[in-house]
Amino acid sequence: MSKIQKGKSPEINLEPEMNQPQNGFKVTLQKPSKIKSNLDIHVIGQDGAKKAIAVAVYNHYKRIIHQAYHSDVEIDKSNILLIGSTGTGKTLIAKTLARFLSVPFAIADATTLTEAGYVGEDVENILVRLLQVSNYNIAAA
């Protein structure tokens, strides 16, 4: 797999319908409004969560693109923790988002994880599942 070359100016495509190759990668920067619109089609309610996730995904891709070309400036990473009762749409939002962005998605139950050598599941099994879902494409995983 080829990697994005550092130091070159990024050519960022803001049009959601068009994919633009970037040295072996297709980079499409979806606007938050387009991401939320797609989530609105599949997920009922949870407008606050959908807006926050749409902005976070947009910023995530901007950060990745920026770091690929400007390694001298570091942009802080932000994370999202989805908390809610069973059946509120957390998993549906994540699955829908993964499908919309064409990225692999794997679910793991953290309560079964144990240290290697003990009864239970190893953390590595989560990565194995992600690799399986991505057809063993490490860059996609």
Stronger pLDDT, 10 or 91, i.e. the higher one: 91
Q: How confident is the model at residue 26 (pLDDT cuts 50, 70, 90)?
A: low
2 assigned to some structural domain: yes
Range of the domain at 49: 1-80
Please count the CA atoms within 13 angstroms of the CA of 83 that sit on its side-chain side.
3
Q: Please tell me the predicted confidence (pLDDT) of residue 116.
A: 73
10 assigned to some structural domain: yes
123 assigned to some structural domain: no
What's the average model confidence in pLDDT over 126-131?
Answer: 89
112 assigned to some structural domain: no
CA distance 82 to 46: 11
What's the average model confidence in pLDDT over 82-88?
Answer: 92
What's the average model confidence in pLDDT over 99-113?
Answer: 89
99 assigned to some structural domain: no
Question: How many folded domains does the chain comprise?
Answer: 1
126 assigned to some structural domain: no
The percentage of the chain sitting over the pLDDT mark of 90, rounded to a whole number, equals 37
CA distance 86 to 54: 22
107 assigned to some structural domain: no
What's the average model confidence in pLDDT over 36-50?
Answer: 95
96 assigned to some structural domain: no
